[in-house]
Amino acid sequence: MKIHYPLSHQSHYPPFEILDGGEKTPSYEIPARLEQILFSLRKTNWAEIEPAQDLGLEPIIAVHDQEYVDFLRTAFDLWTVEESNYEHSALTPATFPPGGLRRIPKSVLGKAGFYMMDLSAPIGAGTYQAALQSSYCALAGTNSLETGEKSAFALCRPPGHHAGKANCGGYCYLNNASIAANQLSRSGRVALLDIDYHAGNGTQEIFYERSDVFTLSIHANPEYEYPYFAGYKDEKGINAGEGFHQNYPLPFGIEDDDYLEVLAEALSQISQFKPAFLVLSLGMDICKGDPIGKFKITRNGLHKIGKEIESLHVPILAVLEGGYNLNELGDDVVALISEFI
C-alpha cells in the first residue's frame, strides 16, 4: 500500500490550545502523532512510504475560498508586524463575529475571528506550509487510486475534516479528505465516509449541495460534543445535495458491536450509491483510551471496521484525521488499514 506523508509536518507544532473554552493546555495535535504511526508502518512488510510532492494550489482552491487560503498563508507574518509589541508564538482570535455580522476587517486579528472557528487551531510560523503539505498527501493518494491502486493511505498532519470552505478549527486548516474527494469526483462518483470521533462539519459544509459526492459521518452526538453546531441526524443536504449527506450521532461509551451495527447501515447506503471511489476520514480518537474521545472501540473492533469497509470492493483512500493516544496510535492505524491490503 502506498503511504503518502508530509515532510514538513514538524514545522507545525502548536505551543498550546484553549481546551473546552477556558484552560490553556499543551496541544494534543503534535508531530509525535505522525512519528508513532510511521514507526508502526515501518514494521510491516506492505507499507510503501513516500513523501508527498508539491501538487499545486488549483485542487485546493477548488474546495476552499481563495481569500481564506491567502489568510492562512499570510496571517502569522502580518500579525507579527501588526502587533509588534510582544513575542509571537501562535495566532488565535481575539473576537468572533456575532450572527449576521460578516464584514471582513483589514486587521489580521479581525480576520482571525472571521476565518477561525475556535481556539484549537492556532496559526504558527510553519502552519500554512504544513497544511499545504498535508493536502498534497491526500492528492497523492488520489493519484494512486486513479492509476489503479486498490488502496492508499494519506498520512495527513495537520488533519482536515473540521475545516470548511473558509474557516479553520478543531486542529484543521485545509480539508484534506474533501480536497481528495473533489479531485476524484472528476473520474466518477465518490463516497466520503468519516469515522472520526467528532462530526466532520467542514466536510458536511463543502459537499452539502452536491450529489456527486455522498458524505456520511459516524460520530459522537453533537448535542454534547464538539463541533456542537453540525452533525445532527436531520441534516441531509439541500438543493442538488438533498439526500446525499447522512449523519449518525452516537452516545458516549459505545462499544464494538453497537458501533459495527451503525457502520453496517452506513455501508449499505454507500453500496446503494455505487461509488467509483471511497475516501475514508480515519479518526483513531474512536478508540478506547483516547484522551479526547469517549467511545470504547477496541483493537479487535478496528480490524472488523476495516474488514467491513473493504467489503465494499471499491478503491479506498484513507485520510488521517484525529487520534491522540500516542502509546497506541500507530498500532491502531495499522490494525484498521491492514484490512485494505
> Would you name the residues annotated as active-site residues?
162
Beta bridge pairs of residue 216: 193, 246
Q: Which residues contact 101 (CB under 8 A, 6 or more apart)?
A: none
Closest CA to 202 of 171, 162, 237: 162
Closest CA to 2 of 306, 319, 300: 319
Beta bridge pairs of residue 192: 215, 279
Distance between CA atoms of residues 160 and 172, nearest Å: 4
Determine whether 330 is exposed, middle or buried from the number of CB atoms within 10 Å of its CB (0-12, 13-18, 19+).
buried
Distance between CA atoms of residues 331 and 47, nearest Å: 13
40's enclosing H/E stretch is helix 32-41
Torsion sign (Cα): 140, 117, 32, 329: negative
Helix/strand/coil (H, E, C) string of 166-214?
Answer: CEEECCECCCHHHHHHHHHCCCCCEEEEECCCCCCHHHHHHHCCCCCEE
Q: Alpha helix (H) ranges present in 48-150?
A: 58-61, 66-82, 108-115, 127-146
Q: Which residues contact 147 (CB under 8 A, 6 or more apart)?
A: none
* Cβ–Cβ under 8 Å, residues 292 and 299: no
C-alpha cell at 174: 485545509
Beta bridge pairs of residue 332: none
